[in-house]
Amino acid sequence: MVGYAFMGAAHSQGWRTVGRVFDLPLTPAMTAVCGRDADAVRTAAGRLGWTAAETDWRALIARSDVQLVDICTPGESHAEIAVAALEAGKHVLCEKPLANSVAEAEAMAEAARRARESGQLTMVGFNYRRTPALALARRMVGEGRLGELRHVRVSYLQDWLVDPAFPLAWRLRREAAGSGALGDLGAHAVDIAQHLAGSPLAGVSAQTETFVTERPLPGEAPGGARGPVTVDDAAVFNGRLASGALASFEVSRVAAGRKNALRVEVNGTLGSLEFDLERLNELHFHDHTDSAAESGFRRILVTEAEHPYLEAWWPPGHGLGYEHTFVHQARDLLYAIATGTDPEPSFADGLQVQRVLAAVEESADKNSVWTAVAG
């Protein structure tokens, strides 16, 4: 694994736990973790469960005892590491968004296509697909329970940037992060909408905004040097899916009081589904074929063994949490590698999301003009 901060810790939780919960065709060995600070990465290796530590990702990729490379670094390095790992014959899991630009994502998808001919597999870390409730929602849509889809709405709101004194972290610099709330949260929102609907976005009309344009440099005392914020704080956009359904999105990292508020609603001719990540063991379903006297949304507690991923966990009613999505992600990737099946979401899926994000930025730059998503 390359990187060991927030996402690295989350991915490590998945790799540590997956073999203790699921019966697997392959057993993951947490061989080595990589970071630039030798002391810090050694400490992280011991804390997170990795056998060895490296300070150069090239050395990690060159190791003969590494068959899978898990990329948990900022977006600026995704393309270089992923392409090199694939060319070295490794499977690759890469955190979302796939890259910082469409050009980088295209290079990664092409490298993945070439590597697939030699048996290497790739996956993008859109972990919310592995929430049992959203996996159940996808199954219900696929079974036709909602009929023809009409609308999809996704909002993803956080508040960690409300304070203008929050320092200029890497996520606030375009050269490191690619974009702001759009890439950080909007990538998840777009992937979930397209995944649930089973249809890609064809075009968008968008607005973005940076409310705090300068922030203190990291380590500076109050009143010290400041630097420019070069990414968005929030984005809102409407779109149309290739199927003809409408879609709307709102993402923000300055929504006071919202910690990790990912909310999804899908409406069809036969019913609707609603999901809230802050109540992630619940899915609300309205069956519009019920009589008017009995109609309305009902809560499905997604903890039964018949629900996705739940066959290996706790008795009914004992809910799961955020970290379990990374366990499920590891499980699905290991099964794909063992069977030679293409994992989902693929690098091609990640490229498609990147093209949507680019269309959003282009539309916002052109006063919300309708912008087609490149094919």
Question: Span 220-249, mean pLDDT?
Answer: 96
State the total domains in the chain.
2
pLDDT of residue 222: 86
**pLDDT single digits (tens) 254-279:** 999 999 999 999 999 999 999 999 99
Q: What percentage of the chain has pLDDT greater than the value 90?
A: 98
pLDDT of residue 276: 98
Return d(Cα 250, Cα 267) in angstroms, integer. Answer: 17
- Residue 224, domain CATH: 3.30.360.10
CA-based nearest residue to 181, from 231, 126, 111: 231
Q: Is residue 323 part of a domain?
A: no
CA-based nearest residue to 15, from 26, 319, 303: 26
Identify whether residues 92 and 167 lie together within a single domain: no
pLDDT of residue 316: 97
Q: Is residue 296 part of a domain?
A: yes
Which pTM value belongs to this model? Answer: 0.97
Query: 187 is in which domain, residue-wise?
Result: 130-318+346-366
Domain boundary, last residue among 100, 127, 154: 127
Domain boundary, last residue among 98, 127, 156: 127
**pLDDT single digits (tens) 128-164:** 999 999 999 999 999 999 999 999 999 999 999 999 9
Identify whether residues 18 and 60 lie together within a single domain: yes
Q: CB of 45 within 8 A of CB of 53?
A: yes
- Residue 105, domain CATH: 3.40.50.720
Identify whether residues 202 and 287 lie together within a single domain: yes
pLDDT of 221 > 90? The answer is no
Of residues 138 and 219, more confidently modeled: 138
Domain boundary, last residue among 127, 161, 194: 127
pLDDT of residue 223: 86
**Chain-wide mean pLDDT for the chain?**
97
Strand partners, 70: 93
Identify whether residues 35 and 169 lie together within a single domain: no
Return d(Cα 2, Cα 69) in angstroms, integer. Answer: 7
Identify whether residues 120 and 220 lie together within a single domain: no
Q: Is residue 335 part of a domain?
A: no
